[in-house]
């Protein structure tokens, strides 16, 4: 599935794999919660704002910083998304980071028509009419929000409509996991002869969405501790699920 992304950059400044942008009243306790749980279970480090932050008056600088240090931004565009100034400020920052930090944007049209997002029609027109009448909102911000929505509306994503949410979530997991797998493989040292195929075999065996329970992996060999731990540090173990325990010992 095509998405809007700029050229790849160094992952050294990345703190999160995914930043979730969503409207709490629409999806916090349903779709977004299910998506967040699935991402974390897969070992994908995901930023989701704390529910208590929503009660605050101003958007947190730490939240905007989290966008800058994320590889992906998943935007859940729901009915009330554009009514939230908080969401629109996030959205403008996300679009800004497409060029500045090479952020990859994955939009989800959650019972929202992509054409309405692009053209700010339907409920989005109502939302911007409200913002334009609000004396606390300046016109420059409104125009920036509209431009950001138009850009995101032109990015290929997932349109839920009448689709099963669980299937869409699995498609998102597959897309992100496959790309993070490539990142892990690219960090493997060329000096470690034959280790790339072994690491791939390990990932294929234990990073399985259908696996359940708790797994233990034992690795024994001369110099294995330093080699495996170095690799784990380089990749941040982002693809090792939490229910797998890695035991490495020099023999």
Active site residues: 90
SS3 of 51-87: HHHHHCCCCCHHHHHHHHCEEEEEEEECCCHHHCHHH
Pair 39, 93: CB distance under 8 Å:
no
CA distance 5 to 105: 7
Pair 223, 191: CB distance under 8 Å:
no
């Amino acid at each position: 599935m095509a998405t809007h992304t700029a050229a790849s950059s160094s992952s050294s400044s990345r703190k999160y794999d995914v930043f979730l942008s969503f409207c709490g009243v629409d999806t916090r306790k349903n779709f977004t919660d299910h998506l967040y749980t699935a991402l974390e279970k897969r070992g994908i480090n995901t930023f989701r704002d704390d529910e208590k932050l929503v009660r605050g008056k101003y958007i947190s600088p730490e939240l905007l910083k989290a966008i800058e240090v994320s590889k992906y931004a998943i935007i859940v565009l729901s009915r009330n998304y554009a009514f939230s100034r908080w969401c629109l400020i996030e959205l403008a920052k996300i679009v800004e980071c497409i060029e500045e930090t090479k952020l990859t944007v994955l939009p989800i049209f959650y019972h929202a028509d992509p054409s309405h997002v692009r053209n700010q029609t339907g409920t989005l027109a109502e939302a911007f009419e409200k913002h334009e009448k609000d004396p606390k909102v300046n016109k420059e911000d409104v125009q920036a929000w509209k431009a950001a929505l138009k850009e995101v509306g032109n990015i290929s994503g997932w349109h839920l409509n009448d689709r099963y949410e669980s299937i869409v979530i699995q498609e998102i997991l597959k897309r992100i996991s496959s790309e993070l797998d490539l990142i892990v493989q690219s960090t493997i040292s060329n000096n470690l002869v034959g280790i790339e195929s072994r690491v791939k075999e390990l990932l294929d065996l234990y990073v399985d969405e259908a696996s359940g329970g708790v797994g233990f992996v034992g690795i024994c060999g001369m110099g294995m501790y330093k080699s495996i731990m170095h690799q784990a540090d380089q990749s941040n173990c982002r693809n090792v699920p939490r229910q797998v325990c890695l035991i490495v010992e020099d023999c």
